[in-house]
Structure 1
């Protein structure tokens, strides 16, 4: 029993297996790309993409282990502090929010919002 008689992308006649959907890998790739463009992004993908972007930004700005930056600088790059993976509370009661191994603490200095950036350490477990 044949499910598809023609390629789902280019409509060429299919030869070979009865459950074949595409005539070649290029048509399969083009079809999947087209489907991705036509259907809205899933919630999971949006969250995952934002987490990856947040991690990339935190990693880029935290080269020294501990850095203090203006919040607007990170937000201009696309950083969204609402997307985190976990948190850690230090002995002083400050709560650091983490995106994988890179963390940040919201702070106000001179009436400006800033972030203290840190990297996860073994003692934080």
Structure 2
């Protein structure tokens, strides 16, 4: 006895195994893709994707180990300073926020927002 009579994606009549749901691999793949696009983005995926983007942007602009860059440049690249993995506080009391091994400190210079970009160092672990 057949459970599904028609392909779930294209609606073609199915032949072959009785528990078959799709007529071929294309329909199976297309159905799964459509289903995934219709489902809401999970919160975890949103956070993980933003962390990955932040890391990629910080890595791209921090070639020298310590760099100062205009805030607008980072934000236009998709960087969101609200997403970070951990922080480090230096002896002066400045709190650097890190996205994995790349850190940033938001500062203001002559009324313009800037970011100091750093790379995690061994002495920061103490």
Q: Structure 2 stretches of 5 or more lacking a match?
A: none
| Matching residue of 1:31 | 31
Q: TM-score, normalised by structure 2?
A: 0.85
Take 2:104 and 2:90, find their aligned partners in 1: how far apart are those partners?
A: 12
- Cα shift at 1:5: 4.0
Q: Structure 1 stretches of 5 or more lacking a match?
A: none
More displaced stretch, 31-40 vs 89-98? 31-40
Take 2:122 and 2:49, find their aligned partners in 1: how far apart are those partners?
A: 27
Take 2:24 and 2:99, find their aligned partners in 1: how far apart are those partners?
A: 40
Take 2:32 and 2:111, find their aligned partners in 1: how far apart are those partners?
A: 49
Coordinate RMSD, CA, aligned? 1.9
- Cα shift at 1:22: 3.3
Report the number of matched residues.
124
State whether structure 2 residue 93 is matched by structure 1 residue 90.
Answer: no
Maintained 8 Å contact 1:50/1:80: yes
More displaced stretch, 76-85 vs 5-14? 5-14
Q: TM-score, normalised by structure 1?
A: 0.86
Distance 1:119 1:22, change over 3 A: farther
